[in-house]
Amino acid sequence: MELENVSASKVAGGWHKQYCFDSKTLNSKTRFAIFLPPNATEEKPVPVMYWLSGLTCNDENFMQKFGAFQVASRLGIAIVAPDTSPRGANVPDDVDGSYDFGLGAGFYVNATQPPWNTHYNMYDFVVDELPNMIERHFPVSSKRAISGHSMGGHGALMIALRNPDRYSSATAFSPITNPIKVPWGQKAFSNYLGDNRDNWEQYDTCKLMRNFSGSPVPMLVEQGDKDDFLHTQLKPDNLLTAVEYEKYPLEFRMQHGYDHSYFFIATFIEDHIRFHAKNWMTS
């Protein structure tokens, strides 16, 4: 699988690089970005934090706006940010051009319904194809953490709950915690997965939390109390109910005055990276 280097910039003593490749999972060309700290070598590979972005985003949003390079460089952590969705001339989009479905809104599921099932297989891409490629081509270890924002926060928590053996920790900012209960999730799941709501539950964090068994993945969730989507799309109270039901090791922090923006994430991203580093040390 050939990687095409799109860009490279030195930052915080390490390197930020973008790559494209033809994804077999997505049946399209896709792009990801990677930050490699200065201590990353073949002799001493470093752990990786995978970042999943939210609606309308791509790999550039986190890398350019969240200010995570300095702390990742000091701690010796690589960061990988894939695109949120398959893209390309032949990839279907919402016929109405809506921002919350289609291109930029893959929701990190494996679509089962045509025409979406040809390309929209972001779950398999994030869990298998992307990390396999990263670990083959870059000086990183198999120690992985996963984080995300909004739709990406949904993806990070859901993927960690379904794959507790693959991730040492998971964190999320403003996650869509209960997508089967909110308009964003209902629109995406009905189109990608069909009308059988039993099929939706495998991608719903609250449902997965209530049915979890095995060794839990430590989690940290950050939420702003001035988030415009707090009660209509995110529903953190539903997550907290599930956490209490399962006694799951999840730390939830409600931050006064913060909204859904990148300013919120930039304020607390260092805490999340340090959370992952702490869990790598104890795993």
Catalytic residue among 16, 119, 149, 260: 260
Question: Residue 246 and residue 206: Cα distance in Å, rounded?
Answer: 10
Question: Residue 243 and residue 146: Cα distance in Å, rounded?
Answer: 19
Q: Is 227 a catalytic residue?
A: yes
Q: Which long-range contacts (CB under 8 A, 24 or more apart) does 230-237 make?
A: 232/182, 232/183, 233/176, 233/182, 233/183, 233/184, 234/150, 234/174, 234/175, 234/176, 234/177, 234/182, 235/177, 235/178, 235/181, 235/182, 236/175, 236/177
Catalytic residue among 85, 168, 227, 276: 227
Catalytic residue among 150, 168, 169, 174: 150
Q: Which residues, 6 or more positions from 119, have their beta carbon under 8 angstroms from its beta carbon?
A: 26, 27, 28, 86, 88, 91, 92, 111
Q: Which residues, 6 or more positions from 47, have their beta carbon under 8 angstroms from its beta carbon?
A: 76, 77, 78, 140, 141, 143, 144, 145, 168, 276, 280
Number of Cβ within 10 Å of residue 174's Cβ equals 29
Q: Is 260 a catalytic residue?
A: yes
- Residue positions annotated with a catalytic role: 150, 227, 260
